Amino acid sequence: GYMKIVHYEANAPWIGRMKCPNPKCGKETPAWQSSGMSDSCPHFFCDTCSNVIHREQDHALLYENEINQELLDRIAATLPDCPCGGRFVPGANPKCPSCKTEYVHQWDAVKRLNVPFMPILDGSCLIRDRLYSYEVCIGSKPKYWWRLFTNALTSLGKGRS
């Protein structure tokens, strides 16, 4: 399926930079950050890429249930595969696009169920259940147009096979 692309200017207030924790790399990657006031919980990252999933159905469960391992297991059992072929799993983190080092989170997966801060790295996708899913593109407009163009080419290629 075709993935919508949402463009943000690099200097927009909700764009931050995530510095790679690997001292040999240290590259900074722009990332969209949800605010602490947002309802972006629970969210889960892919074990292979930096895509993230946030579903209303899981959010509803947080309000109806005690937050514990049992709830986490229940949600985890229903998480789909990521479009990249990896899996959305509790405890996974976004990864540095250059060296693949994880941006490790200090909390365990159960505690992270109600963490609203959800970084989406430039070029990564947010997968949602009720609303459309989209890829985040941060930076110049030409970069955005180029992404749209290459996206269109890939979906054309897929249509033929």
Task: Give CA–CA dist 147/153, Å, rounded.
Answer: 10
The sheet carrying 4-8 orders its strands as 4-8, 134-138, 125-128, 52-54, 43-46, 88-89
* For the chain, domain boundaries: 4-160
pLDDT at 160: 52
Q: How confident is the model at residue 141 (pLDDT cuts 50, 70, 90)?
A: confident
pLDDT in tens, 93-124: 999 999 999 999 999 999 999 998 999 999 99
Higher per-residue confidence, 44 vs 34: 44
pLDDT at 161: 45
Helix (H, G, I), strand (E, B), or coil: what is residue 53?
A: strand
pTM above 0.85, yes or no: yes
pLDDT at 159: 60
Task: Give CA–CA dist 5/139, Å, rounded.
Answer: 13
Element (H, E) at 121: strand 119-121
Beta strand 125-128 pairing with 52-54? parallel
For 5-20, the DSSP string reads EEEE-TT-TTEEEEE-
pLDDT in tens, 46-79: 999 999 999 999 999 999 999 999 999 999 999 9
Phi/psi at 112 (5° precision): -75, -10
pLDDT at 157: 74
Tokens, residue 101: 């080092």
Higher per-residue confidence, 157 vs 51: 51
Asked if residues 41 and 116 have their Cβ atoms less than 8 Å apart, the reply is: yes
pLDDT at 158: 67
